[in-house]
Amino acid sequence: MKAGRHLFLDLEDTLITPLQADWCSFDFINVEKVKLFMAGWRPDTVNLFSFAVHDQADVSGFNRHVRPSLERDLGVSIKLVPTTDGDILPACCRQMKLHPKKVDFSEMSAFWSKHQGFRLFVKDLAGKGVDGGAVVALIDDAVVDERFEWKGLRVSGSIINIASIDETGTVQMNMGGKTCWS
């Protein structure tokens, strides 16, 4: 992972309605809210972190049907599109010192969830640390608000529930019973 500000975005129930039969059947949601957040947070890169993208077939469907309009509407290019099966699950397993063939998607989803899966994925991306430091953020509908800092890796970040972003793009995080704005 390079130094800078890296935003990761979920797809289903965060930026698009749940996929029904294929990548053609969706509607955009929360795009303006995320765009306003990005205007204030100013990421260097925008990436996906979505369990809807299982494999290269899903990457192709995303690239063909969702990506062009999403990039146009957000005004950015999406850099990383990690697959659940080929990128996210193996990265999480490396961090947990498990063999990826011993963990399947349903186990990963049930036990690590998007929240912990993101933390493990970022730790794997950061490797031995980031020269100059990196700041990461995930916006997702299935997470709890959190801020974290890993000083040894020179990485800090936020996990943000899409419901915590108001209509101005400001984040109102519930941090242990108290409200924090960012």
> What whole-number distance in Å separates Cα of residue 51 and Cα of residue 82?
9
- Of residues 129 and 31, more confidence is placed in 31
Q: What pLDDT, on a 0 to 100 scale, did the predictor assign at position 29?
A: 97
Annotated domain spans of the chain: 4-181
CB 19 within 8 A of CB 12: yes
Q: What pLDDT, on a 0 to 100 scale, did the predictor assign at position 58?
A: 96
Residue 174: pLDDT band (50, 70, 90) is low
Q: What angle do helix axes 31-41 and 67-74 make, rounded to 10 degrees?
A: 50
Classify residue 55 by its DSSP letter: S
pLDDT tens by residue, 66-121? 999 999 999 999 999 999 999 999 999 999 998 888 888 778 777 788 999 999 99
Residue 178: pLDDT band (50, 70, 90) is very low
| Residue with tokens 């980031």, as numbered in its chain | 130
Q: What is the CATH number of domain 4-181?
A: 3.40.50
pLDDT tens by residue, 133-149? 999 999 999 999 999 99
Average pLDDT over residues 156-174: 91
Residues in CB range of 16: below 8 A, 6 or more apart: 26, 27, 28, 29, 66, 70
CB 16 within 8 A of CB 26: yes
> What whole-number distance in Å separates Cα of residue 148 and Cα of residue 150?
7
Which pTM was predicted?
0.92
Beta bridge partners of 137: 7, 158
CB 63 within 8 A of CB 93: no
pLDDT tens by residue, 19-64? 988 899 999 999 999 999 999 999 999 999 999 999 999 999 999 9
CB 30 within 8 A of CB 15: yes
